[in-house]
Amino acid sequence: MKSPKLPDKFLLVRLKSNDPEAFAQVYDIYAERIYRFVYFKTSSHEQAEDLAADVFLRAWQYITSGHEVENLNALLYKTARNLVIDHYRRRSNTDVSIDREDVMELSDHRQTELLSKIHIDSEMERVQTILHKLKTEYREVIILRYLDELSISEIADILERTKGSVRVLIHRALKVVRSLLNESEKKEK
């Protein structure tokens, strides 16, 4: 197993001694990646923000309660993964709709901003649609490898698999993604 990066080792020592500045540093380093990981699993900015915040609190509690942690990155992603699983177990579906009249009441500037956001959101929705069509294990390796840019070794630690099985998962997942993209492009024509 690969040893954690040197700065992570120092941060772990400081976290174990209940150093709030170390917690802030960990948050600054990992918050965006953890948020993105959770967002691509929940498709909700609010839920992703809430769950990502919980990830850091739980990791802090876990570390300061005396548990041995070798890889901070793996701990954060495992915690995020488990919180998302718990979230889906408790989740109740609620729909939010935007009425056309609400959009018409906005100023021209706000309408332009909203339309721009809708365009970006539709692209993100396409990515999410493809990701959500994947098996859970394929979706996870794609997000970890290509969105969070983690190494094969780090992914293996997070998923508790061998490096070889992670490589195979990535290869199979990419094959399915290519197929889904081809189908999507054919439907658009």
pLDDT in tens, 89-117: 776 444 444 445 444 455 555 555 555 55
Q: Is residue 51 part of a domain?
A: yes
Q: What pLDDT is stored for residue 93 in this prediction? A: 43
Tens of pLDDT along 175-187? 998 888 888 777 7
Tell me which residue range forms the domain holding 7: 1-96
Mean model confidence pLDDT for the chain: 80
What is the model's pTM? 0.60
Q: Is residue 104 part of a domain?
A: no
Tens of pLDDT along 4-16? 455 788 888 888 8
Task: In whole angstroms, give the CA distance from residue 104 to residue 91.
Answer: 33
Q: Are 134 and 173 in contact (CB under 8 A)?
A: yes
Tens of pLDDT along 4-52? 455 788 888 888 888 889 888 999 999 999 999 998 888 888 999 999 9
Q: Is residue 49 part of a domain?
A: yes
Tens of pLDDT along 116-151? 555 555 566 777 788 888 898 898 898 888 888 888
Helices (H), the chain: 6-16, 20-42, 45-64, 72-90, 100-104, 108-133, 136-142, 152-159, 163-188
Q: Is residue 11 part of a domain?
A: yes
Q: Are 138 and 176 in contact (CB under 8 A)?
A: yes
Does position 63 have pLDDT exceeding 70, yes or no? yes
How many structural domains is the chain composed of?
Answer: 1
Amino acid at 86: D
Question: Which CATH number fits the domain that encloses residue 60?
Answer: 1.10.1740.10
Q: What pLDDT is stored for residue 30 in this prediction? A: 92
Q: Is residue 88 part of a domain?
A: yes
Q: Is residue 105 part of a domain?
A: no
Q: Is residue 179 part of a domain?
A: no
pLDDT band at 66 (very low <50, low <70, confident <90, very high): confident
Q: What pLDDT is stored for residue 4 in this prediction? A: 46
Task: In whole angstroms, give the CA distance from residue 48 to residue 42.
Answer: 7
Q: Is residue 15 part of a domain?
A: yes
